[in-house]
Amino acid sequence: MSVTSTTGTGLFDRLKEALAAGKPVAVATVIRGEPLGAKLLVLPDEVVGSLGDATLDEEVLADAQTLLASERSETRRYAMVGREDGVEVYVEVHPPPPTLLIFGAVHVAQALTRFAKSLGFRVIVTDARAKLATPERFPEADEIVQAWPDDALSQITVQPNTYVAILTHDPKFDEPALLGTLETPAPYIGAVGSRGTNQDRRRRLLEAGVPEERLRRIHGPIGLDIGAETPEEMAISILAEIIASRHGRSGGPLTTASGSIRGPLDSVSQAADPTSPVTAAGRVSTE
Amino acid sequence: MPEIDAWRAGGNRIALATVVKVEGSAPRPVGAVMAVSSGGDLTGSVSGGCVETAVFEEAQDVLKTGTPKLLRYGITDEMAWDVGLACGGTIEVFVEPLPE
């Protein structure tokens, strides 16, 4: 890994570039102690800038990579030789944005694309119907793939952060889309349709030899139970289910839930003090 | 934040305020950001509205001096009339000038 020293402007330009390219990035900043405001930018194959001390840079680089993997921004205190208080460094992580893959360039997909973009998703819309899958209908989409589901899936890489919404409402499109995406590591696969449609689809997929256990991955009828009627309401219902699924939550009202109201359910409690001193050898207890 | 580029194009300098630490419950999590321009614009948020005005003033100071600042906001009964958070937590906000 190469280390580049650069001015603040250069560092911010590199950060902007990497974010625009959807690369995983971390930025570390000295927020308590000197040099206050010094920054270290951690790119996939390069480190830019410095926190003013080579040993500190190394420790923070290692922590930044761990935090990036766990998608957590955090302030940590570092012990420094000859400095009683050490320094506090804020590490901000920018994991690559999640992708929403929509099968069916239908009316609901238009609202879904718009809302998903404002939530920070990359959005891919795919449909075989040339009249529907157009940039005019989906100006916010990052990618439009006009193809049958099998063909589309051969062109798109479905990753562990690719969320799938199948909205075609037509078995000849949505069943190949389901069969195809069930083979991928997609963390969420939702399929539109009434309870009856879902029962019928389930039966056909079982007959086609899809194991019961695998069918349990499908969220169908898609969305949370908010009584959604319009395309916009359906889009919110679907995105709410996707957000809940990302955080391992069920999506009920907060009045009936307990514990932290934000982020993953299993996240470390905010009461834990992440600023207790750490050294290259690990965290040192202050008590 | 798309606004920042427009503010810059208008000849403004920009300060960025980031929530870097949260103790207890707070309206915005670590990583929440607010940007402020030397022309008086404001976008984003670091709380539910409780401390934005105070952070805005501090950010103007940071833009004048060019030196970053770490701010800490909390609330106690004695502080009830001062700037603080309504929900009882404590947050630390780091304010820094963006390079021109």
pLDDT at A237 over 60: yes
Q: Is A218 within the bounds of a domain?
A: yes
Task: Provide the CA A153 distance to its chain's centre, in angstroms.
Answer: 20
Q: Could you tell me the CATH number of the domain that includes residue A208?
A: 3.40.50.720
List the single residue in A with minimal CA-CA distance to B28.
Answer: A262
Q: How many CB pairs under 8 A join A and B?
A: 44
- What is the Cα–Cα distance from A52 to A144, expressed in whole angstroms? 46
Q: Is the CB of A250 inside 8 Å of chain B's CB atoms?
A: no
Dihedral over alpha carbons A266, A272, A277, A281 (to 10 degrees): -30
- What is the Cα–Cα distance from A146 to A132, expressed in whole angstroms? 9
What would the two tokens of residue B73 be?
A: 């906001």
- Where in the sequence is the domain holding A157, given as residue range(s)? 99-253
Q: Is the CB of B23 inside 8 Å of chain A's CB atoms?
A: yes
**Which of A49, A77, A96 lies at the terminal end of a domain, its last residue?**
A96
**Which of A96, A113, A129 lies at the terminal end of a domain, its last residue?**
A96
| CA atoms in the 13 A half-sphere facing the CB of B69 | 18
A33 and A89, same domain (yes or no)? yes
What would the two tokens of residue A30 be?
A: 């000295």
The number of distinct structural domains making up chain A is 2
What would the two tokens of residue A157 be?
A: 């890489």
A222 and A192, same domain (yes or no)? yes
Task: List, in order, residues 6 or more apart from A208 with CB less than 8 Å away.
Answer: A179
Mean pLDDT confidence for A18-33: 93
A143 and A240, same domain (yes or no)? yes
Q: What is the pLDDT of residue A131?
A: 95
Q: What are the tens digits of pLDDT across the range A69-106? A: 888 999 999 998 777 788 999 999 999 999 999 999 99
3 state SS of A261: coil
Among A176-190, A192-206, A270-284, the range of highest mean pLDDT: A176-190
Q: What percent of chain A has pLDDT over 90?
A: 72
The residues with which A152 forms a beta bridge, in sequence order, are none
CB atoms inside a 10 Å sphere around CB A251: 17
Phi, psi values for residue A65, rounded to 5°: -70, -40
Q: What is the pLDDT of residue A83?
A: 76
What would the two tokens of residue A85 be?
A: 């208080």
Q: Is the CB of B90 inside 8 Å of chain A's CB atoms?
A: no
Taking CB atoms and an 8 Å cutoff, what residues of chain A touch B74?
A: none
Mean pLDDT confidence for A134-163: 96
Q: What is the pLDDT of residue A268?
A: 43
**Which of A96, A131, A154 lies at the terminal end of a domain, its last residue?**
A96
Q: Is A263 within the bounds of a domain?
A: no
Taking CB atoms and an 8 Å cutoff, what residues of chain B touch A12?
A: 98-99
A144 and A246, same domain (yes or no)? yes
CB atoms inside a 10 Å sphere around CB A71: 14
ipTM of the complex: 0.86
Q: Of A286, A259, A283, whose CA–CA distance to A74 is shortest? A: A283
Q: What is the pLDDT of residue A277?
A: 42
A214 and A138, same domain (yes or no)? yes
> Which of A67, A89, A270, A275 to mutate: most B Cβ within 10 Å?
A270
3 state SS of B73: strand
Q: Which helix (H) or strand (E) holds A94?
A: strand A83-94
A38 and A161, same domain (yes or no)? no
> Which of A15, A31, A36, A91 to mutate: most B Cβ within 10 Å?
A31
- What is the Cα–Cα distance from A245 to A258, expressed in whole angstroms? 17
Q: What is the pLDDT of residue A283?
A: 35
Q: Is A287 within the bounds of a domain?
A: no
Q: Where are the beta strands (DSSP E) in chain B?
A: 14-23, 33-37, 42-44, 69-73, 90-97
A65 and A88, same domain (yes or no)? yes
Interface of A with B in 253-272 (CB under 8 A): 261-263, 270-271
Q: Of A274, A245, A247, whose CA–CA distance to A261 is shortest? A: A247
A22 and A106, same domain (yes or no)? no
What is the DSSP secondary-structure string of A142-156? SEEEES-HHHHHHHS
Taking CB atoms and an 8 Å cutoff, what residues of chain B touch A118?
A: none
A128 and A156, same domain (yes or no)? yes
Q: Of A273, A271, A283, whose CA–CA distance to A62 is shortest? A: A283
A44 and A184, same domain (yes or no)? no
A234 and A138, same domain (yes or no)? yes
Q: What are the tens digits of pLDDT across the range B56-100? A: 999 999 999 999 999 999 854 444 445 555 666 889 999 999 988
A207: exposed, middle or buried (C-beta count within 10 Å: 0-12, 13-18, 19+)?
Answer: exposed
Angstrom distances, CA of residue A44 to CA of A18, A24, A25, A38, A65: 9, 7, 7, 20, 9
A23: exposed, middle or buried (C-beta count within 10 Å: 0-12, 13-18, 19+)?
Answer: middle
Q: Is A261 within the bounds of a domain?
A: no
Q: Is the CB of A247 inside 8 Å of chain B's CB atoms?
A: no
Q: Is the CB of A31 inside 8 Å of chain B's CB atoms?
A: yes
Q: What is the pLDDT of residue A273?
A: 44
Q: Do B94 and A31 touch (CB under 8 A)?
A: yes
3 state SS of A85: strand
Q: Do A73 and B25 touch (CB under 8 A)?
A: no
Q: Which conformational region is residue B36 in: left (phi greater than 0), alpha (psi within -120 to 50 degrees), or beta?
A: beta
3 state SS of A179: helix
Q: Is A76 within the bounds of a domain?
A: yes
